[in-house]
Amino acid sequence: MKAAAAERVDLPVTGMTCAACARSVEGALSQTPGVERAHVNLATNTATVEYDPARAAIGDFIGAIEGLGYGVPAGRAPELKAPWKARLMVAGLLAAATMAAGMAHGLPHAAWIELALTLPVIVYSGGPIYAAAWSAMRHRSANMNTLIALGTATAFLYSLYVTVRGGREVYYEASAWILALVLTGRALETRARGRASQAIRALSELQPPTARVLREGAELELAMEEVRAGDVIVVRPGERIPVDGEVLEGESAIDESMLSGESLPVDKGPGDAVFAGTMNRSGGFRFRATKVGRGAVLQQMIELVRQAQGSRAPVARLADVVSGYFTAGVLAAAALTFAIWLCFAPFATAMVNAVAVLIVACPCALGLATPMAIMVGSGRGAARGILIKGGEALERAHKIDAVLLDKTGTITEGKPRVTRVEPVAGFAEEELLALAASAESYSEHPLGRAIVEAAAARGLATQPSSGFISEAGRGVRAAVDGRAVWVGRAAGQPGVSVMVDGALAGAIEIADAVKPEAADAVRRLREMGIQALMLTGDSRAAAEAAARQVGIETVFAEVPPAGKAARVKQLQAEGRRVAVAGDGVNDAPALAQADIGIAMGGGTDIAREAGDIILMSGDLRRVAEALSLSRRTMRTIRQNLFWAFAYNVVAIPFAALGLLSPVLASAAMAVSSLTVVANSLRLK
């Protein structure tokens, strides 16, 4: 019996606050029968599970997550809702009041007043933190909530004991302020994460909620769920296109910047493809829906960005290993701090310093260091028409030092174009081109179409032709204005020759023109220290001519598709980190062999592209931009990891030596997480 294909589900998870939380959830999901792979992203609060549907169901995963004390809400992962805001407000106001009561000299029953003010903070504001810590302890795990709960509960219970005994040396304000600062940090962090998630949200909002569909001769306003492939859809100026399709009638200029990152509108007419989410700038038109729902390019983009933002880069493995043992190490450090201080100082001093160690060492920043940078970097790429398939591709891309560029369709436009018209004596340039275009008016050959297009671009009037004959491999014959015209290849000519009434009238040079931005793209790669090389199956003469125009010195020409992969392997054997940029069809073997495959102009079916990076436009400059983005993202990840590690290395000894109070420790902990988030947001 054939095994069922693996399915994938993304589940929003609430209650996670640090790397240890994410690791616990990931471990529980991985151990669930039927799960092939599980990954939890702290930055997006999302669990991604790949599973065998014959052996597991989504309910099993929800049960595993909730069994650890975390939640799985329906729909999107929640942001900071009103109850959390209310808890934060209560904690802030009462913490300030508690501090004021503690500083009021001579206030009767000051300790009892502080107790009354702190109790709502502990019970109401800190309730979810204590509940999560208790749930983790029941499952023999520890996380950031464990450290906060232990620290604040220890300070509160000790103060309660002193109050009941009639003493005044209490630490209620420490417990209240720690919880207030923790909640403040989480509120700011949630808001910052929301900014980092704007890429998916912005893409999702591009698709209009309804479409104007022609059915049985009537225009109907239908919800997107009701639109079917084959429907004829009407689009007016200023409206977004609801689904992918092909123009039937009408002409317009479409803003496709959400796909390609290009700001200039693209002219569309009958037969041209249009894509969901793009903006109709000018004329109205009708088109037939070809892809709806998840098959549309926009939905494929959203899915790829979501997968990339939920992925993990190999550089994160060190942080994963460290965070797995970190909480237990902090608990041991706090216990050791308490024991040593108790030998030389009063119980209260030992307790305060141990609490400071517990609070300052929360590993939240460590858990956010990598996913936040990947989330922002991949979102920034998507906004520029650059789709990077996950953290692993992002990490490999930043090491690239050589890029092999395909010629046809990558460096060049991929279609023949008239580059020069050379008439002989007795003929004018315009006359020669008009005669050739008239003769080729019925031709379907690419060279013939190039001649017709060149004449139209110059505004030349063509004349009716008769007796059209196409001779395979030789050219075409036709009668134009009473003259016999022959257009075809002649030996030694770079394009085509034109003969009129049996005599040579001139030659028309036709070539695959180099893209206007190609030279600038090669220059940008060179400035990044990356060598650009050409890899093509075209003739050496054509390849070297194109290479000279764009500034490429090394050319591998006349290489068949299978040989392209061998060339890549050869460069890799020399120690080079190689990227291949091509159209993803005949370049598929080379794209697969390369360290990074870059699929150019993947707008028509991005789901099946072979590349690690998909460029939604054919603009060659996007290659350098993609590699630059990977370098900046990896630099940000390293900075985040450095600061997260450095913070704990410095802060824990300060707290253990009594140089950092619990309240300052709580503030420092919040600042460390916000620093990582803010540094990642710089990528935007």
Q: Which string of DSSP letters, residue by residue, matches 472-505?
A: TTTEEEEEETTEEEEEE--TT-SSEEEEETTEEE
Residues 6+ positions from 601 with CB-CB distance below 8 Å? 409, 583, 615, 616, 617, 618
CATH 3.30.70.100 in the chain, residue ranges: 7-67
Q: For every residue of 57-106, which 3-state class applies, written as one string?
A: CHHHHHHHHHHCCCECCCCCCCCCCHHHHHHHHHHHHHHHHHHHHHHCCC
Mapping DSSP to helix (H, G, I), strand (E, B) and coil, where does residue 45 land?
coil
Between 458 and 473, the higher pLDDT residue: 458
- Position 673 confidence tier, pLDDT thresholds 50, 70, 90: confident
Q: What 8-state DSSP symbol labels residue 186?
A: H
Report helix, strand and coil shares of the chain as percent, to nearest 5: 50, 20, 30
What pLDDT shows up at residue 309?
64
CA–CA distance, 51 with 63 (Å, rounded to integer): 15
Provide the sign of the torsion angle of the four alpha carbons 677, 680, 682, 684, taken in this order. Answer: negative
Task: Give the mean pLDDT of 644-658.
Answer: 86
CATH 2.70.150.10 in the chain, residue ranges: 208-295
Instruction: Output the six-digit token pair for 72.
Output: 């799985």
Q: Which of 605, 601, 592 shows the shortest CA–CA distance to 622?
A: 601
CATH 3.40.1110.10 in the chain, residue ranges: 413-514
Q: For every residue of 107-166, which 3-state class applies, written as one string?
A: CCCHHHHHHHHHHHHHHHHCHHHHHHHHHHHHCCCCCHHHHHHHHHHHHHHHHHHHHHCC
- CA neighbours within 13 Å on the CB side: how many for 265? 13
What pLDDT shows up at residue 196?
59
Q: In CATH terms, is domain 208-295 a member of 1.10.287.1060? A: no
What pLDDT shows up at residue 478?
92
Instruction: Output the six-digit token pair for 448.
Output: 């013939």
Indicate whether 296 pLDDT > 90.
no
Q: What 8-state DSSP symbol labels residue 14?
A: B
Task: Give the mean pLDDT of 625-650.
Answer: 89
Indicate whether 77 pLDDT > 50.
no
Q: Please state, rounded to an integer, the average pLDDT across all residues of the chain.
A: 83
Residues 6+ positions from 101 with CB-CB distance below 8 Å? 107, 110, 113, 114, 117
Residue 648 CA, chain-centre distance (Å), reads: 30
> Pairing between strand 412-423 and 46-51?
unpaired
Instruction: Output the six-digit token pair for 575.
Output: 């120690």
Q: Taking the domain 389-408+516-621, which CATH number applies?
A: 3.40.50.1000
- Position 401 confidence tier, pLDDT thresholds 50, 70, 90: very high
Q: Write out the H or E segment, with its range, that includes residue 174.
A: helix 172-196
Indicate whether 187 pLDDT > 80.
no
- Position 326 confidence tier, pLDDT thresholds 50, 70, 90: confident
Q: What 8-state DSSP symbol labels residue 315?
A: G
Q: Write out the H or E segment, with its range, that includes residue 223.
A: strand 218-223
What pLDDT shows up at residue 137?
80
Task: Give the mean pLDDT of 670-676.
Answer: 82
Task: Give the mean pLDDT of 372-399.
Answer: 84
Task: Give the mean pLDDT of 412-436.
Answer: 88
Q: Which of 481, 478, 490, 489 shows the shortest CA–CA distance to 441?
A: 478
What pLDDT shows up at residue 80?
45
CA–CA distance, 449 with 480 (Å, rounded to integer): 17
Terminal alpha carbon distance of the chain: 49
CA–CA distance, 593 with 580 (Å, rounded to integer): 9
Q: For every residue of 517-537, which 3-state class applies, written as one string?
A: CHHHHHHHHHHCCCEEEEECC
Return the CATH fold of 7-67. Answer: Alpha-Beta Plaits (3.30.70)
Mind telling me the catalytic residues?
406
Provide the sign of the torsion angle of the four alpha carbons 590, 592, 593, 595, taken in this order. Answer: positive
Neighbouring-strand partners of residue 535 = 556
| 101, 323, 387 from 617: Cα distances, Å | 64, 40, 11
CATH 3.40.50.1000 in the chain, residue ranges: 389-408+516-621
The answer to whether 263 and 244 are in contact (CB under 8 A) is no
What pLDDT shows up at residue 494?
58
What pLDDT shows up at residue 433?
92
For 430: left if phi > 0, alpha if psi spans -120 to 50, otherwise beta; the answer is alpha
Indicate whether 310 pLDDT > 80.
no
Instruction: Output the six-digit token pair for 213.
Output: 């569909």
**Homologous superfamily, domain 413-514:** Calcium-transporting ATPase, cytoplasmic domain N (3.40.1110.10)
- Whether pTM > 0.75 for this model: the answer is no
The answer to whether 36 and 50 are in contact (CB under 8 A) is yes
